[in-house]
Copies of this chain bind each other. A is one copy, B any other.
Amino acid sequence: MYDGLKGFRDFYPGEQSARREVTDAIEGAASRHGFREIATPALERTEMYVDKSGEEIVEELYAFDDKGGRGVSMTPELTPTVARMVVAKGQELSKPIKWMSTRPFWRYEQVQQGRFREFYQTNIDVFGSSAPEADAEVLAVAADALTDLGLTGDDFEFRVSHRDILGGLVRSLAADPDAVDTAAAIRAVDKRAKVDDAEYVGLLSDAGLARDTARDFDDLISDVETVADLDAVAEAGDESVEAAVENLRNVLAAADDFGAGEFCEVSLTTARGLDYYTGVVFECFDSTGEVSRSVFGGGRYDDLIESFGGQPTPAVGVAPGHATLKLLCQRAGVWPDEELSTDYYVLSVGDTRSEAAALASDLRALGDDVVVEQDISGRSFGAQLGYADSINAETVVVVGERDLENGEYTVKDMESGDETTVPVEEFPPEDGLPTYEDYV
């Protein structure tokens, strides 16, 4: 007997049917907005990740040399791969490019609740538009996906921030702007809720802010709770801060028009950890706080395509992670039932296999989603009925020798156990999915 690997999961049909429903909801929302599915490799050259994130990234990669001596890694995220794909096709692709895909990624890290070594995400990205409507569309798709799952504005919120407000403000406040490590300051803000106050101020200080100034900076960003509060921030910063505030306002106004405004809050203490983000960034949180971590996040990464050797191409995206989303859905009571569903079990008794199989085939033809099972184990009446129950069959159609002599099937409702006979020529009808109720 073999074990699976730690941090890797087997999904059996019950759980998988719930996961499929959630994936379909997310992909459906993106698809209705015109995001097109792509498919991408599981392996890339390790150097692509090292160039982008530094040698230390290798520590958390499934990295190895292939049989041809190439340094390769199992993809830890999608963004570098899609950046490579955008660069490869360059001008051939009409803009904006709107792509989505769902697949696993891999990171060698500590396994904990909602975090695995193999984890699934749906990536949703726009390339080629710097307009606030692009950011808003990404927020709208995320909001549509969550509301399609049954979540409401009482369940989740998008905390929206802007990296250039944070970076510009740090440089505006610093005694020596040239000595500021903007990226380090933003990483400090990202860690704000995860470390204690002294460590946080220390991180800001390491990034080039005097301790008093760090305190002022934190007061400024943490005081912002509404769009109106952004005035004070714009006044305290330089022109870059003013422009970023204007951009954030425009994104939020577009999000209002696109139907996502009600889920958005301004939150400058939100920063996102990854260095490649450039403009608006956001994170989705459980409004009740019961799921304490960010459920997922997204934002702008306008410089990445150029750094990959492509034409300057603005970009914005979001990547719902399925494991944390499951925690939110479970907390809100909207995680789908983890069970099988079956429309019909066609039960053959006696020498009726041919007739039963033909009926099963006719029932399957009633719809793309209809599920019809029949005996493939040579079982007795009772054993077949037990199996039909185990797969939650809604209706059992008994095809017995005597029934057939009378030109009838027996249609049985598995919830109540009630049954009736139906003339063979009336079953199934030309359209609709017939149940016991239709014949009494």
| Partner-binding segment picked from A130-138, A197-205, A413-421 | A130-138
Q: Which of the 9-residue segments A61-69, A228-236, A290-298, A431-439 touches chain B?
A: A61-69
Q: Does A104 contact B (CB under 8 A)?
A: yes
Residue ID in chain B nearest A39 by CB atoms:
B11
Interface residues of A in 100-137 (CB under 8 A from B): 104, 106, 108, 118, 126, 128-129, 131, 133-134, 136-137
- CB of A184 closer than 8 Å to a CB of B: no
A324 within 8 A of B: no
Q: How far is the CB of A297 from chain B (nearest CB, A)?
A: 20
A252 to chain B minimum Cβ distance, whole angstroms, is 13
Asked whether, in the complex, the Cβ of B128 is within 8 Å of the Cβ of A94, the reply is no
Instruction: Give the shortest distance, in Å, between A387 (CB) and chain B (any CB).
Output: 7
Is A17 a contact partner of B37 (Cβ separation < 8 A)?
A: yes
Contact of A45 among B5, B11, B88, B361 (CB under 8 A): B5
Q: A129-B376, A353-B133 given as contacts; is B37 within 8 A of A1 (CB)?
A: no
Given A41-B5, A44-B4, A357-B257, answer yes or no on A31-B128 (Cβ-Cβ < 8 Å): no
Residues of B close to A374: CB separation below 8 A = 133
User: Does A226 sit within 8 A of B, measured CB to CB?
Assistant: no
Is A370 at the interface (CB under 8 A from chain B)? yes
* Given the contacts A19-B39, A64-B64, A377-B96, A85 and B12 also touching, CB distance less than 8 Å: yes
Are the C-beta atoms of A33 and B118 separated by less than 8 Å?
no
Cβ of A391 within 8 Å of any chain B Cβ, yes or no, is yes
Q: Tell me the bound Cα distance from A136 to B372 in angstroms.
A: 15
Copies of the protein in its oligomer: 2
0 or 1 for each of A62-84: is its CB under 8 Å from B? (1 = yes): 10111110101010000011001
Question: A372 — nearest CB in chain B belongs to which residue?
Answer: B32
Query: B353–A257 contact, CB under 8 A?
Result: yes
* Interface residues contributed by chain A, number (CB under 8 Å): 99
Question: Does any Cβ of B come within 8 Å of A326's Cβ?
Answer: no
Task: Give the distance to chain B from A91, nearest Cβ to Cβ, in Å.
Answer: 13
Across the interface, which residues of B come within 8 angstroms of A377, CB to CB?
A: 95-96, 128-129, 131, 133-134
B10 touches A41 (CB 8 A): yes
Alpha-carbon distance between A256 and B355 when the two chains are bound, in angstroms: 12
Q: Are B89 and A12 in contact (CB under 8 A)?
A: yes
Which of A39, A43, A44 neighbours the largest number of chain B CB atoms within 10 Å of its CB? Answer: A39
Chain A interface residues (CB < 8 Å from chain B): 1-6, 8-13, 16-17, 19-20, 28, 31-34, 36-45, 47-48, 59, 62, 64-68, 70, 72, 74, 80-81, 84-85, 87-89, 93-96, 98-99, 104, 106, 108, 118, 126, 128-129, 131, 133-134, 136-137, 144, 254, 256-259, 308-310, 340, 342, 353-354, 357-358, 361, 364, 368-378, 387, 390-391
Q: A64-B64, A64-B65, A256-B354 are in contact. List 15 more A-B contacts (CB 8 A).
A: A2-B45, A5-B41, A5-B70, A11-B40, A13-B36, A33-B364, A43-B106, A62-B64, A96-B377, A96-B387, A133-B353, A134-B377, A137-B376, A257-B353, A259-B357
